[in-house]
Amino acid sequence: MILQAYTCAAVVEPLLRLGVKPVYVDIDRESFGPDPDLIAEAVTSRTRAVIVQHTFGIPVPVEEIDVDVPIIEDCAHVTPGLIDTSRSAAAFYSFEWGKPVVAGIGGSAVVHDPELADVMWEHYARYTAPPESRELMTDAEYLAFRAADRAGVVWRMRSLYRQLSGMGLVVGSYAPDPRTSAEYGWRMSQGTRSRLAARIATGRAELKRRRELTDAYEIELHRVVPGVPLKFPAVVADKQEALLAAAAAGLELSDWFATPVHPLSGVDLARAGYVAGSCPNAEWAAAHVVTLPVRAATRRDSIGRAADLLAELRPVGAHA
Ligand SMILES: *Cc1c(COP(=O)(O)O)cnc(C)c1O
């Protein structure tokens, strides 16, 4: 399976579970998406499919990818309906806490290849509802998310959560071993399913506002970002310096993706089949790209403040 580096473990872990070998191609430093020519060059007789990820919601020109294997689009950063995926075999979306439409843990697939759709329905028929305790937990998490979202503190909670899960105090989203976890056989929870249509409608209604925020970022940060991104990327010389300065100023800035297969590093990254040095642009992006929020609730004045803060950091190209 071919996919770009500068991705997230959620994409790779199902492949490892299936015994499919991930083959990474590098990204472009402007779009953070894969180079269509590199994908075509990486295809061999053993390639089963290509996964193309619209990182930060920046659309990859899928029509330029000239391969004779199926393409699967990772639309986890895309508001459903915004990108036409009909040229591909399938596309998948996620509705958990960090995504453009949040309805609770779970995701959906849009399948255009009829044979693949049949196979997926067969699998789905074997899946079971999550246990009641998990249903209740998902609903509780969703209510907590909405309360934090209304208070504008989701990102603060997320960084706290990350620190706690880093210390092993709470179970992180990627904690279950993908090779043995029962969760892979669960259907979407009832609660998530019942919230989904209304949440997608809200997400679509917010697109105009989020594009206006993107326009403001483009002017302030001198970078053009097409589509309606989930996050607005900025390049910094020293990521830790930027993150610390933003935290001190009370500004939301995120370390995402922190590694070529986020958040894996060291032996875990190697276990995910990533060879150190193989995708230099992905490693560069992991070291130098920070992202800013593009949510409907993002305040216009925070964009100017963020731009001022980034301008005060050491210039890109400077070395320690
Ligand atoms: C979040 C995410 C997914 C899917 O995540 P789940 O948590 O498994 O729903 C897939 N790809 C990318 C790029 C993501 O950010």
User: What tens digit of pLDDT does each residue of 260-318 get?
Assistant: 999 999 999 999 999 999 999 999 999 999 999 999 999 999 999 999 999 999 888 76
| Average confidence score pLDDT of the chain | 92
Q: Which of 12, 27, 74 to mutate to test the pocket of ligand 1 (most atoms within 8 A of CB)?
A: 74
| CB of 173 shorter than 6 A to ligand 1 | yes
Between 217 and 149, residue with greater pLDDT: 217
CB within 8 A of 17, min separation 6: which ones? 178, 179, 184
- Can you give the pLDDT at residue 316? 81
Report the nearest-CA residue for atom 2 of ligand 1: 76
- How far away, in angstroms, is 107 Cα from ligand 1 center? 9
Q: What is the pLDDT of residues 89-124, one digit of tens each?
A: 999 999 999 999 999 999 999 999 999 999 999 999
Rounded mean pLDDT of 209-233?
Answer: 97
Let me know if 184 is exposed, middle or buried by CB neighbors in 10 A (0-12, 13-18, 19+): middle
User: How much distance in Å is there from the Cα of 100 to the middle of ligand 1?
Assistant: 11
List pLDDT tens digits, range 153-209: 777 777 666 665 655 455 455 555 655 778 888 999 999 999 999 999 999 999 999
107 within ligand 1 shell (Cβ under 6 A): yes
How many A from CA of 106 to the centre of ligand 1? 10
Query: Do the Cβ atoms of 16 and 271 come closer than 8 Å?
Result: yes
The stretch 243-253 carries a mean pLDDT of: 94
CB of 102 within 6 A of ligand 1: the answer is no
So what's the pLDDT on residue 314?
81
> 254: Cβ below 6 Å to ligand 1?
no
- Domains, the chain, ordered by start: 205-312 (3.90.1150.10)
Token pair in block for residue 168: 């092993």
Cβ neighbourhood burial of 113 (10 Å; 0-12, 13-18, 19+): middle
pLDDT at residue number 107: 95
